[in-house]
Amino acid sequence: MTKIAMIGAGSVVFTQTLVMDLIASGLPGLEVALMAPSTRNTGPLKEYFDRVKEHNDLDIEVTVTTDRREALRGADFVIATFNIGGLRATELDYEIPMRYGVDQCIGDTLAPGGIFRGLRSIPVALELAADMRELCPNALLLNYVNPMAIVAWAFDRGGVEVVGLCHGVQVSLDLVASYLQIPKAEIDYVSAGINHMAWFLKLEHRGRDLYPELKEKFERPEYYANEKVRGEVFRHFGYFMTESTGHLSEYLPYFRKTEAALAMYCDEPEFGGQSGAHVAWARAIAQHGAAEALLHGAGLDLQPRSVEYGSYIIEAAVTGRPFEFQGNLRNGGMISNLPEDCLAEGPVVVDSNGLMRLPVGDLPSACAALNLTNINAQRLTVEAGMTGDPEAIVHALAVDPLTSAVLTLAEIRSLATDMLEAQRDWLPQFEGKHVTPRPHISLPAGLVRAQVPLDPALAVARRLSQLGG
């Protein structure tokens, strides 16, 4: 029997997708423990999976619990999919920064929304890691929780073997294959960087470099219009990215800092750049997202697996048949010009011996430089989440590319204060702590300045100015 514990299994569509993938893998003797704080969604999910089991005569057992430790006890694999704070926290992640002029489309990876989503998730990640060390110390943790790099970094610090998973590379390859009219399976690629900001370092078809043709496509308005931000980064930095315009526009300082920039690059609806797109989506799911409604009409026949890597990784680890995928791991030298301890995304192979990084070498210098701007904010968010130091929140926001492009340091400190106070219920590590005020220093009329040594060049400039007068 192979036991899989899904922690945070209340997301109906995603849980259904992952479990149906596991069923389609054909692995015998599966036990899947669905854990969530309530059984509102996991109960109907279990009923659905039981019908699938009976219809297909499957060797699988699905259980439901609200006790995390019960789900974890004896698990071989753990899948993390939790979302701390739910819809209300997601609304605050968007609404409070928007009052300061920090305009987000999604806000789940970086920018103020992603930073605070990470801060809410880190305490739960550390508790889960502690439980795993006790109850299933040899289990492999598959993390789907965003912000991927921040949460997986915390899991890694928590002393468990973790790999972060995302479908950005698979979906981006669909786009490339469509643009170039080449079957996706025939594209030979290497992708590396960080989650939501990895770079296709190689795109080839039967030995032919696909980059010249792809670059030519993105000089045409009919292609560029579909992915303005990703297209613009591609045109200026030379490598195609693995994340869409709505996401990528938040990770760089160029595209959302002014109304003019938003109108030029982020004018596509929904996740194409629209302000508050993720909040609108989350509200729609909450309004129409009862498990019974989402599962209504769901078929019982087995279907081909989705693009998600999870079931393939578990299959490879159980059977020993190697599987190569794009994973997020502690860098550990996989990408030689990114920090050793950061969460890097690149090629990984898994089999019964575990996970193995495939070395990539250096990223192009400009690509690594853009990754580092995000890694700096991720590192400071992890530090804030693990230490409970409110000043580290300020520092994370201050180096975040979007926030720093829009706000002054004083405004950033005020934003950190407002977001911390609004989200205290989900931030136990900051209990009783506050962001230290730094009032503005006014300069009165007739101020007599303190006497300080002048920089030699400034002293010469002043003398010349006086002589000229």
Interatomic CA distance for residues 318 and 4, integer angstroms = 12
Q: How many CB atoms lie within 10 A of CB 214?
A: 18
The tens digit of pLDDT for each residue in 349-394 reads: 999 999 999 999 999 999 999 999 999 999 999 999 999 999 999 9
Cis link prior to 147 (omega < 30° from 0)? yes
φ and ψ at residue 209, rounded to 5 degrees: -70, 125
Please identify which residue in the block is written with the tokens 């550390």.
Answer: 126
- The sign of the dihedral angle between the CA atoms of 375, 106, 218, 184 is positive
Can you read off the two tokens belonging to residue 212? 């010249």
Catalytic pick from 189, 251, 265, 309? 251
pLDDT, residue 289, reads 63
211 CB-side CA count, 13 A: 15
Q: Extract the tokens encoding 138.
A: 């040899």
Residue closest to 140 by CA, chosen among 88, 80, 99, 200: 80
The low-confidence residues of the chain, meaning pLDDT below 70, are: 289-290, 293-294, 468-469
122 neighbors 147 (Cβ within 8 angstroms): no
Would you say 76 and 4 are in contact if contact means Cβ atoms under 8 Å apart?
yes
For residue 92 the two structure tokens come to: 């605050």
Do residues 2 and 314 touch, judged by C-beta distance below 8 A? Answer: yes
pTM of the shown model? 0.94
For 34, phi and psi rounded to 5 degrees?
-90, 115
- The catalytically annotated residue of 167, 211, 223, 254 is 167
Find the DSSP H helices in 218-258. 221-224, 228-237, 245-251
Residues 233 and 248 sit within 8 Å (Cβ to Cβ): yes
Q: Work out the burial of residue 138: count CB atoms within 10 Å of its CB; fewer than 13 is exposed, 13-18 middle, 19 or more buried.
A: exposed
Q: How far apart are CA 235 and CA 224, in angstroms?
A: 10
Q: How far is CA 172 from CA 160, 178, 184, 433, in A?
A: 30, 10, 10, 42
Strand partners, 4: 32, 77
Question: Which of 3, 20, 13, 9 is CA-nearest to residue 311?
Answer: 20
Looking at residue 103, what DSSP letter applies?
-
pLDDT digits (tens, 9 = 90+) for 213-266: 999 999 999 999 999 999 999 999 999 999 989 999 999 999 999 999 999 999
Question: Is 440 a known active-site residue?
Answer: no
Task: Answer yes or no: 167 catalytic.
Answer: yes
Between the alpha carbon of residue 449 and those of residues 306, 398, 438, 456, the distances in Å are 67, 29, 21, 18
Burial 267-282 (b: 16+ CB within 10 A, else e): ebeeebbbebbbbeeb
- Architecture of 2-85+109-166+292-357 per CATH? Alpha-Beta Complex (3.90)
